[in-house]
Structure 1
Amino acid sequence: MKKYPAIIALVVSAIVFIGFLLTPAQWYKQHWTTSKLEKESVSLTDHVLKGTDIQSAMMRNKNFYPIYGSSELNKNDPFQPAMLLKKNNQNMFYVGKGGSTGLLQTLALGSQYSNLKGKKMTVLISPQWFSKTGMSESNYQGRVSKLQINEIFENEDIPMTVKKRLARRLLDFKDNKDNAFLKGYVKGDTSGHFVNPWQADSLQKIERIKAFKPVKRSPLSKRVAKQSRKNRALEPLEKKAIRYGKQHSKSNEYGIKDPYWKLLKKHKRYISRNHEFKLNSPEFKDLKILTELLDASGADVQYVVLPVNGKWYDHIHMPKDKRYRVYDKIDRIIKKKNPRASIYDMRSEDYTPYVMSDTVHIGWRGWVILSQHIQDHIDGTKKHHQEHKVQD
């Protein structure tokens, strides 16, 4: 008699599993309304980063302006663009988290290729990405969506040159080194699939089921949700950001927020950055794929190459001329591969006080300056594309 509950549980599990396999993925699809998308706009969760449905709905919704970036998006800063630029029918939508380097941006945006034409967006590029090794194996395994990769190779509108370049790059990672599909694609054999149709269907169902489950959102979500919708004059806010930066970085001469400086002094933050700013970084391969893809898609892209804390980098013996050679190469690639795009190279702010809130992340004043450029891009103007003159 004791065996029956176990047998019943096994039978029920088998029925549920078979039902999962047989039901169409369409049954699990959410209807992503504007209000639902607003709740996820700065949640920075995996189901946003890896989500094909939610990003597709956002791309098709005129109320959202995407910002693709990395760890800077996760900073709970009172001057984040999602705060400053929240207006009627205008919401910033963040895609990215720590480790979201150029390859992950390529996969997320490539999976949305058919929705990109004419879509205004900002893509943030961190010069620190351009390290000796580029994207790490562990970061690839933890961040990459096979479904997004499959969407790219299944899309016949994406230029073959882009997909071949991507296939070659993906083979650099251990997970793919024996992948017959990628090896064949590089050689011109486009038959087959990155993941077979049955697996792709299952992955899509899993993605959609996870999207129904409440998840912990970023601390920034609560702050943005409370923010009222109104037009804000940004230039006065820059002065406010300067005052805020001064108040919160009294412990050091580098404009680094006090809690982070305390960790630096205790050596709980890695100080050496000698692995960064490498002209032969694999990250340049990823930048070429990203920019070529976005150019072909017809997206209206503003690339922003983020600054660093110049005073701190000088202090740790990472000279400006070495850093700026990497900036130059980034700019050259963007101009060559996506000549129609706008570029805002923020290296001119490397030594501007309170543009950075720590050693590597933009904050405070920097967010206000960047928000001005984003609003200009939304409006189709170049009002703030000259070096700003606000006094400290």
Structure 2
Amino acid sequence: MFQLLSTVIVLALIPSQWSWGNPMIDGVNAQTNNAPRDVPAIYLFGDSTADSGNNNEMLTIARANFPPYGRDFDTRHASGRFSNGKMTSDWITDFLRLPLAPPYMSPEAQMFPFQGANFASAGAGILNNTGNVLGQKISGWQQIELFLQRRNELIAKMGVDAASTHLRDSILYIATGGNDYIHNWITNDTDAALLPHDQFNNLLLTTFENQLQVLYNAGARKVAVLGIGPVGCAPHFLWLSNTTTGECMETVNQYVSQFNDGLREMLVRFNQQHQGAHFVYRDIWNTVYSMAKFPQNYGFTNGDTACCGLDHYGGGSRCLSPSMVCENPPANVWWDEYHPSHRANNFIARQIWSGVDPSTTTHNSTSTTVYSFLTVQQLAALELTDV
């Protein structure tokens, strides 16, 4: 295995962290209608918005395996999720009526190889060097390498045909790209960040398309690709901009919006060029932006300040201690300086799962073309015959 992973100490999770369960917490209703039961597994890729514990034993500041993270999770345990409770990917897994996929670096992922796996790693991005300033992580390409390793394991246990059918019918969930802006281009952390934005954007999309090609070649057919959310509305960027009115940093949002436009166009082309491919774009921009600007419409009272943080808008520090937690976490859209709260993640997941308008475009979109993609609910219900 590649050098980075050789330094990782396998983390130990209690079984209830990835087992069945969907309690009511803070008034969140996770019930869905006609959720399919025949999706064999979910495989997750991406960054801290999907990492369920892969970074726990790495030499990095991008970890969340300590209180108060996880205070509202099923087990009330800090599993490594960057949330006070569930991440968006956890809610989607619930909607699919699947057990939560264990982190690939955990013993459970090896003990139960047929129930999927989580390869996501906090700090990771599309580019290999993204997030290096934070410490160790499993990069986007390395996550794909681990998926290929799991594919080989399945073939060894199930045979080629059964493994191919398993992967064809499984859902792949990819949430990446945000760190390529937050911890790369905006902060000038790598040589790639010296590129003009259009060239950097093209580099991201070309690299990401190559990664998707590898997944397709490995047998993936049902893939949900999340666009990047309005990064400029996160408490960290409100703090960074010294705004006194809670206005989002729209220059940052514009960069991300242009990436989302290109991502949609790339996925349309990808599906047209690859038989049986259903690599769908799922927009999270509008939901997050709307919650941040109009929190009362969702039952929140605060749309700009992190529940757990320091300084203006709670955006000047990571969440490091239970003493930093706000009085009423369910009232906040944001949990920490970058990540939505447990309740907010539920709203985001519902849009991804069964959004009313699956062809939605992003706020401030530079594209005038509307592309229609399946929701994850529709994606899960597809009956495919090609392997």
| TM-score (norm. length: structure 1) | 0.40
Task: Tell me which of the two structures has the higher relative contact order, counting C-alpha pairs closer than 8 angstroms and 6 or more residues apart.
Answer: 1
| TM-score (norm. length: structure 2) | 0.40
Task: Work out which of the two has the higher radius of gyration on C-alpha atoms and give 1 or 2.
Answer: 1
